[in-house]
Amino acid sequence: MNTTTLDVTPAPVVTSPARRHAAGYWVVALAFLTVMAFATVPTPLYAIYQQEAGFAPVVVTVVFAAFAVGVMVSLLLAGHLSDTLGRRPLILLSIGLEVVSALVFLTSTSLPVLLVARLVCGIGIGTLTATATAHLGELRAVAAPGAGPRHAATVAGLANIGGLALGPLAGGLLAELAPAPLHTPYLVFLVLLLVAAAAVATVPETVARPEVRAPYHPQRVAVPIAERPAFRAAGASAFTAFAVFGMFTALAPTFLVTVLHRTDHLLAGTVTFAVFAAAAAAQVLGGGWTPRRQVVAGATALVAGLVVVVVGAVAALLGVFLLGAVVAGTGVGLVFRSAVVRAGALAPADQRGEVLAALFLTAYAGLTVPVLLTGVALLFLDPVTVLVGFVVVTSAAVLASTARSLRVS
């Protein structure tokens, strides 16, 4: 009697630590997404604040700038502390700050309250971004050894920019369909943030605390002297990219009301969602391109998109305005990804954090200064003129920074 022996190779056994880290990986990703979404929930609500409190557009830009200032302060003072204090405690601290921000938002619609709420929100975001990104990479390394860093980098990017995209959409939807539009969005996210905190508390820690803690010092911000021309080019790209993000986040609702005469809060959230979603998609789809190709394609799309936005505004065509927003968002995603890659390559691994800190501070300056100047300009000029001026100056800056990047690459 003949018998056939089957050579069956047993499936690899997934260890308990690997399973815990795999589950923790997705918990951190979802928490990251939730916090970033909360950061942009107020975008479609600014028009309501203007109506109820009589704010001028420049006041909205000041409130928005408070968020960017909070991010920059936090990047300098706390963004690096998870390397010694641990990833999980810093993520929990970040979520706690967003909970405080939500509670402050619920107390009043006065300007001082809004400034405090946005400042606290920015501090939480600055603490979270680098910490969650690093934690995702470390959790993935244990959950899927040898898989490489690309999956974690992609998930971190999608959680970051994808969250920023979902926030305005959620805020606009709740403001349009639910009662109490200046309370319901914050109550919903307050619950989501508390759930996220409870889930993150169960995630494995990936940093061993040193027995002897080094004295505290702020994040070093430095660029090697020989690489400063290349950094200035990358920094200029990041500055202009975030200036476009800032314009659509802080002022898109104002332009929709004053130029296109659209007061739909969901529409205001949809415009900002479209910009960030396009940026996130572009970063994923163009992730394998060279930095040179990314910056050229990104600059082309960014300038073309801004021109289409102006055409839509001048002709009062909402569809054209939305198309321009999507194309511009695509360009922003590629330009910023190229800037991060180029800046990260300018220093050895032990100095990369210092260079990237300098890049992100430059980027958030772009999120602050141009938006404030645009808000001031709206006090003296009509909205279409201000929008055209913003597009002309920003487009010129994008083209100049791209030309410089190509020369030094």
- Render pLDDT for 140-171 as a digit per residue (tens, 0 to 9): 988 888 777 778 888 888 898 899 999 999 99
Q: CA-CA distance, 176 to 147, in Å (whole number)?
A: 44
Q: Please report which confidence band the pLDDT of residue 344 belongs to, taking 50, 70 and 90 as the band edges.
A: confident
Report the first-to-last Cα separation within the chain, whole angstroms: 72
Name the residue with higher pLDDT: 63 or 251. 63
Q: What tens digit of pLDDT does each residue of 294-333 get?
A: 999 999 999 999 999 999 999 989 999 999 999 999 999 9
Ramachandran class of 148: left when φ > 0, alpha when ψ lies in -120 to 50, beta otherwise:
left
Q: Look at residue 213 in the predicted model and tell me its pLDDT.
A: 74
CA-CA distances (angstroms) from residue 75 to 121, 297, 364? Answer: 13, 29, 10
pLDDT average, residue stretch 236-259? 88
Q: Please report which confidence band the pLDDT of residue 15 belongs to, taking 50, 70 and 90 as the band edges.
A: low
Does the pLDDT value for residue 349 go beyond 80?
A: no
Does the pLDDT value for residue 215 go beyond 90?
A: no
Q: Look at residue 319 in the predicted model and tell me its pLDDT.
A: 93
Q: Look at residue 191 in the predicted model and tell me its pLDDT.
A: 98
8 A C-beta contact, residue 69 and residue 194: no
Residue reference for tokens 């706390």? 78
8 A C-beta contact, residue 171 and residue 184: no
Residue 353: CB atoms within 10 Å: 20
Q: Please name the residues in contact with 12: beta carbons below 8 A apart, sequence gap of 6 or more.
A: none
Averaged pLDDT of the chain: 88
Q: CA-CA distance, 354 to 336, in Å (whole number)?
A: 18
Ramachandran class of 255: left when φ > 0, alpha when ψ lies in -120 to 50, beta otherwise:
alpha
pLDDT average, residue stretch 197-210? 90
Does the pLDDT value for residue 139 go beyond 50?
A: yes
Does the pLDDT value for residue 3 go beyond 50?
A: no
Residue reference for tokens 């999120």? 367
Locate all alpha helices (DSSP H) within 286-351, ordered by sequence.
291-314, 318-344
